[in-house]
Copies of this chain bind each other. A is one copy, B any other.
Amino acid sequence: MSPHTSSAPVPSKQYDVLVVGAGPAGLMASTCLTTYGLSVLHIDDRPTTTAAGRADGLQPRTLEVLRNIGSVKVEEGKSSLAKRMVSQGVRVYSVAFWDPTETEQLARTSRAPSCPDFIDVVDNYTLLLHQGLIENAFVDEIQQRRQLLSAEKLKPAPHGGVFRPYTFISCETDAAGDSEYPVKAVIQNSETLVHHEVRAKYLMGCDGAKSQVKRCISAPSDTPGGEPKTIKMLGDVSDIIFAVVDVEVSTDFPDILSKCMIHSKDAGSIMVIPREDNLVRLYVQLQKGEGQAGQAHIERDKATLDICFERAKKIFEPFTLEFGRVAWFSVYQIGQRIANHYTLDNRIFLAGDAVHTHSPKAGQGMNISLLDAYSWSWRINLVEKGMADPAILLPTYEQERKSVAEELLRFDSEYTKLFAGRAPNQSTVDLEVEAKHKAVGAVDPVLFIETFKKNSAFATGCGAIYFAGPLSALPDSELVKSWPKQGVFNPPGTRLIAGQRLLPGKITRAVDANQVRIQQEIRMDGAFRIHVFAGRFKSSLPRLEAFASFLASSSSFHNFHRPAASTPLASVLPTQTPSSRHISHEQPPLAANPFFKYLTVFATPYTEWDVDQVPAALRQVRDYVYSDDIFDRRVAEAGVDAPLHRKYGVDVEKGSIIVVRPDGYVGAIVELSEDGHAALNAYFAGFLKGGQ
């Protein structure tokens, strides 16, 4: 990158949000906040994006999210965010397990899919590419989105919006000094050493494992009367040391193009990960000597590349391993730690490695960090636009994301222990493998594989589940428990679950017969997606008319929860409007609310009805009317007759309304009935503000 020159932009004094750190989490936060039209000051103390190495795997759920973020209109020939990464990376579909057996020094004892088929996701693989390529893709996308910002929100910034190298020095929440911009922070240009004081409404600390933001806010606060709240990392620093190397190899080991877990008899273990650019990543467990006695671990500063190579060769025996170009080398000490809080005051937040660290084995670090920031941003947007009550909505960030991180750590430590050959002696496990495959090493392969499989839903990111709360109308949520009538929430037969992601599926857009993916029809734009699964066309019309009248009434959530008139936009993305695609239209019956989008899906093929027969409020955007008539092998028995209704467990004679949050998670499922309308009102009233 070019050195800092006097013509380079300098930070302004005031922003909606200050984002510290431009690793994966920070870049995701910037991308989202920019999409929502907020002004962002983004800083990082590194002069450039990551050049090589570090985190490497994008999981299926992360890819689904990246596809949903989509791309704004790009230059001719430019690739979109997710497609760009997919085209640069390498796909891993399966993991091979290699162990010593009774007859062989090393043999493949099993294989497991990285994304087992029971997980319903489009990108059913792990995508491997180094962190820098991911960062670059984000930077370019942020650049494109910044061009759509309103003049008032667009402040000067370098390409991609990140000021670098700029170091975060300190911050505090000082509502007395400026109640609208209570966060006061000091940052420093790392080259000129000039300090800047900036003000923001919120600060997001994505500054990694050694977070300075975390340190700043962890000083005991002097809340009068209360216990001093500080942020502490809970968990262990492990003494297991791994060397990580991205290298070209030449070998006769047959599975070198697969992801492999190799457990040698005495020499330790290796994880092999195929990489882009003809590289292989090796995670090599480092220990002093051979055998049980030698399992004391060498010290971190003695872990050289030569030791790593030597150890790798030992573990690979009897296969040969020659090394070529080294793209990256690092040494990793596994710590399983998680912060007790992600925020102390709902003004200064933390995300990513700043609040959780763990072994790289599960390939989760970057994924969960990205999704932290993704998950936080839409809440800030709702609050910023005056839609939501910050006291209710903002704490759900920590509630949801911390529980996911805790799950991850549980999984990760189980996994790591196994990987390090420290599994408890499982003589009781029934070994159903062939004698040839029976392992004689320190790790029990059967237990290992079981653990692997049990956790794969979680590992793909698709198993990240949010518990009952104001945002997830689960049977055990306060709202649903106290609801007077049974079956209005989560009608009988429903197979979607609040707090889980919307399952993917294809539907036909009636207006142009395009076959589209329901989970990608609405880009990440900050809005709730209200999917009206109407059931059969004819019988649904009275129910739809009733829903349309309800929406148009002043008491509906649609009209009650509205952004302040001065800040109407949910995002800078172009919105489909009645007139945006040629169709001239009568006066729309529903005053548009950018935070609610309605998609109506019929169980009857679009060839048997007409968009104009649909109640006007539900075809206000004609594009959002669909039929459910595309074969899905997961509900093969349905053929082309409403497979998605069946997958979601929606009765085609009754219909349901499925609320999907801006992050793609199901919020609530209610009856398509008057009771259901009341239930929707109650669901949204649980966290949104009204009566503006």
Contacts of A248 in B (CB 8 A): 582
A682 at the interface (CB under 8 A from B): no
Interface residues of A in 44-95 (CB under 8 A from B): 76-80, 83-84, 87-88, 91-94
Q: How far is the CB of A529 from chain B (nearest CB, A)?
A: 21
Q: A76-B88, A79-B83, A137-B77 are in contact. Are A252 and B320 (CB under 8 A)?
A: no
Which residues of chain B are within 8 angstroms of A579 by Cβ–Cβ distance? 250
Per-position 1/0 for A494-534, Cβ under 8 A of B: 00000000000000100111110000000000000000000
Stretch at the interface among A254-262, A414-422, A472-480, A647-655: A254-262
Q: Is A251 an interface residue (CB 8 A)?
A: yes
CA distance A78 to B320 in the complex (A): 38
The oligomer's copy count stands at: 2
Cβ of A631: which chain B residues have Cβ within 8 Å of it?
633
Chain A residues numbered 601-651 whose CB sits less than 8 Å from any CB in chain B: 607, 610-612, 622-623, 631, 633, 636
Interface membership of A446, Cβ < 8 A:
no
Chain B's closest residue to A112 (CB) is B607
Residues of B with C-beta under 8 A to A94: 512-513
**CA of A623 to CA of B88, assembled, Å:** 19
Residue A482, interface by CB 8 Å: no
Candidates B76, B257, B585, B623; contact of A512 at CB < 8 Å: B257
A633: chain B residues at CB < 8 Å are: 631, 633, 636
Question: Does A581 sit within 8 A of B, measured CB to CB?
Answer: yes
- In angstroms, Cα B394 to Cα A591, docked, is 66
Of all chain B residues, which has the CB nearest A255? B511
Q: Taking the complex as formed, is A136 at the interface, i.e. its CB lies under 8 A from any CB of chain B?
A: yes
- Residues from 238 to 278 in A contacting B, C-beta threshold 8 Å: 248-252, 254, 256-258, 274, 278
The verdict on A584 contacting chain B, using a C-beta distance below 8 Å, is yes
Could you say which of A111, A133, A513, A631 has the most chain B C-beta atoms within 10 Å of its C-beta?
Answer: A513
Q: Say whether A322 faces chain B, with CB atoms less than 8 Å apart.
A: yes
Chain A, residues 406-432, CB within 8 Å of chain B (1/0): the string is 000000000000000000000000000
Instruction: Tell yes or no: A120 within 8 A of B by CB.
Output: no
Partner of A515, one of B78, B93, B584, B585: B93
CB within 8 A of A251: which of B257, B280, B584?
Answer: B584
B584 touches A252 (CB 8 A): yes
Which one of B84, B280, B582 lies within 8 Å of A582 (CB-CB)?
B280
Asked if A322 contacts B584 (CB within 8 A), the reply is yes
Bound together, the chains give a CA A91 to CA B584 distance in angstroms of 22
**How far is it, in angstroms, between the C-alpha of A198 and the C-alpha of B93 when the chains are bound?**
53
Complex contacts, A77 vs chain B, CB 8 Å: 78-79, 84, 136-137, 140
- Min CB distance A456 to B, Å, is 14
Complex contact B257–A133 (CB within 8 A): no
* B249→A582 contact, CB < 8 A: yes
Binary interface profile of A, 122-143, with partner B (CB < 8 Å = 1, else 0)?
A: 0011000000010011001000
A583 an interface residue at 8 Å Cβ cutoff?
A: yes
| CA distance in complex: A79, B250 (Å) | 31
Given A77-B140, A583-B252, verify A93-B512 contact (CB < 8 Å): yes
Give A631 to B79 CA distance when docked, in angstroms.
Answer: 30
B93 close to A513 (CB less than 8 A): yes
Are A250 and B87 interface neighbours, CB within 8 A? no
User: Is the beta-carbon distance between A514 and B78 smaller than 8 angstroms?
Assistant: no
User: Are B583 and A256 closer than 8 Å at their CB atoms?
Assistant: yes
Per a CB cutoff under 8 Å, which of B140, B258, B585, B610 touches A513? B258
Inter-chain contacts of A581 with B (CB < 8 A): 256-257, 278
Interface residue ranges of A442-495 to B (CB < 8 Å): none
Minimum C-beta distance from A547 to chain B (A): 22
Contacts of A80 in B (CB 8 A): 79, 87
* Nearest neighbor of A80 in chain B, beta-carbon distance: B87
Residue of A125, A256, A579 with most chain B CB atoms under a 10 A cut-off: A256
Question: Using Cβ atoms and an 8 Å threshold, which residues of chain B touch A584?
Answer: 250-252, 320, 322
Whether B514 contacts A91 by the Cβ 8 Å rule is: yes
Bound-complex Cα distance A612 to B108 (A): 13
Interface centre among A93, A257, A515 (most CB of B within 10 A): A257
A648 CA to B623 CA, complexed, in Å: 39
Which residue in B254, B256, B515 is a CB contact (below 8 Å) of A612? B254
The residues of B that contact A280 with a CB separation of less than 8 Å are 582
Q: Which residues of B have CB within 8 Å of A249?
A: 582
Point out the residues of chain B lying under 8 angstroms from A513, CB to CB.
92-94, 111, 113, 258
In the complex, what residues of B have CB within 8 A of residue A512's CB? Answer: 91-94, 257-258, 274
Contact of A254 among B113, B125, B610 (CB under 8 A): B610
Give the Cβ gap from A85 to chain B, nearest Cβ, in Å.
10
The contact string, 1 if C-beta is below 8 Å from chain B, for chain A 540-581, is: 000000000000000000000000000000000000000111
Query: What residues on B are CB-neighbors of A252 within 8 Å?
Result: 583-585
Q: Which B residues lie within 8 Å of A612 (CB)?
A: 254
CA distance A248 to B580 in the complex (A): 11
Residue of chain B at shortest CB distance from A582? B256
In the bound complex, CA of A92 to CA of B248 (Å): 45
Q: Could you mark each residue 16-58 of chain A with 1 if its beta carbon is under 8 Å from any beta carbon of chain B, else 0?
A: 0000000000000000000000000000000000000000000
B-contacting residues of A (Cβ < 8 Å)? 76-80, 83-84, 87-88, 91-94, 108, 111, 113, 124-125, 133, 136-137, 140, 248-252, 254, 256-258, 274, 278, 280, 320, 322, 508, 511-515, 579-585, 607, 610-612, 622-623, 631, 633, 636
11 new A-B contacts, CB < 8 A, other than A108-B610, A252-B585, are: A76-B136, A77-B79, A94-B512, A94-B513, A125-B515, A248-B582, A250-B582, A254-B583, A254-B612, A257-B583, A636-B636
List 24 contacting pairs A-B, 8 Å CB cutoff, sorted by A. A76-B84, A76-B133, A77-B78, A77-B84, A77-B136, A77-B137, A78-B79, A79-B79, A83-B83, A91-B512, A91-B514, A92-B512, A93-B513, A94-B512, A248-B582, A250-B583, A251-B583, A254-B610, A257-B511, A257-B583, A258-B511, A258-B513, A278-B582, A633-B633
